[in-house]
């Protein structure tokens, strides 16, 4: 009888431990999925004050510390424009719509204003030159059902693709805030998205923008026709990884301008070494 009682106690204790572990795991997942809500602010007035509406968010991936310039703008949903090429590449590779980063899609002969668009591209060159038609074809191959399911599963912005399968991210129905951009990229880097490590590594490899010694900058710009610019990404350094998002709404501002502004802000914060010769 004593042996049976001891066995029963052990089983009950084990069950309680499992329940506690599941509760802690659920709480941890809930915390990771929660909106970025740190009260910390940045003093980058010299960089950002000249613009009508701008924000900068940076997250230390290891400590979870978040700092912001203009929290109200950081929480404002905007069109992702070409920054959506990051999740588009992820789902393209994961579903097999693209066989790999060297998958070449043929140019259909339509003449575009930017000469770089008027040729065949693989995923790497299409990301680098921000080739809209390439990623529109990726979206077609993925299809409406899989695209909608993926955005829902990763919680990307408002997940609204009603603007059309090849247009929803181009100043149309899909909206995402800078805070949400950072949260999405953080989940990707932590391995919390429903995609393989191989897929994440493939996309990471084609997003590298700059190396300064042992610091590496990854990112993607985005530009709207209505004076909107984005730069989102992360940088790795010996001390850890910083995830960031910056957007500016101002007449005549494009993604390339916001990238330059972001790099200067990262330098101001001593996260990115100054570019040699500047």
| Active site members | 82
Alpha-carbon span 101 to 68, nearest angstrom: 34
8 class by beta-carbon count within 10 Å (0-12 exposed, 13-18 middle, 19+ buried): exposed
Contacts of 99 (CB under 8 A, 6+ apart): none
Going from the C-alpha of 69 to that of each of 177, 247, 254, 259, the distances in angstroms are 14, 11, 19, 16
Q: Is the dihedral of CA 158, 163, 165, 168 positive or negative?
A: negative
């Amino acid at each position: 009888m004593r042996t049976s009682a001891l066995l029963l106690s052990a089983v009950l204790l084990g069950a309680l431990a499992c329940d506690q572990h599941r509760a802690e795991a659920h709480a941890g997942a809930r915390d990771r999925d929660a909106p970025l809500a740190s009260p910390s602010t940045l003093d980058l007035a010299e960089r950002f004050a000249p613009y009508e509406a701008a924000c900068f968010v940076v997250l230390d991936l290891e400590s979870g510390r978040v700092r912001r310039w203009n929290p109200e703008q950081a929480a404002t949903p905007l069109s992702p424009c070409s920054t959506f090429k990051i999740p588009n590449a992820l789902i393209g590779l994961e579903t097999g719509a693209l066989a790999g980063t060297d998958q070449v899609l043929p140019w259909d002969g339509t003449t575009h204003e930017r000469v770089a668009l008027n040729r065949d591209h693989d995923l790497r060159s299409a990301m680098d030159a921000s080739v809209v038609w390439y990623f529109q074809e990726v979206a077609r191959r993925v299809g409406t059902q899989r695209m909608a399911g993926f955005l829902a599963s990763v919680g990307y912005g408002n997940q609204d693709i009603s603007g059309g399968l090849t247009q929803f991210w181009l100043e149309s129905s899909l909206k995402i805030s800078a805070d949400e951009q950072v949260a999405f990229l953080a989940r990707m880097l932590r391995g919390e998205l429903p995609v393989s490590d191989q897929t994440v590594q493939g996309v990471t490899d084609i997003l590298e923008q700059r190396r300064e010694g042992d610091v590496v900058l990854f990112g993607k710009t985005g530009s709207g026709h209505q004076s909107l610019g984005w730069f989102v990404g992360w940088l790795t350094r010996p001390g850890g990884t910083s995830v960031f998002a910056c957007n500016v709404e101002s007449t005549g501002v494009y993604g390339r301008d916001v990238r330059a502004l972001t790099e200067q802000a990262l330098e101001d914060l001593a996260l990115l070494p100054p570019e040699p010769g500047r």
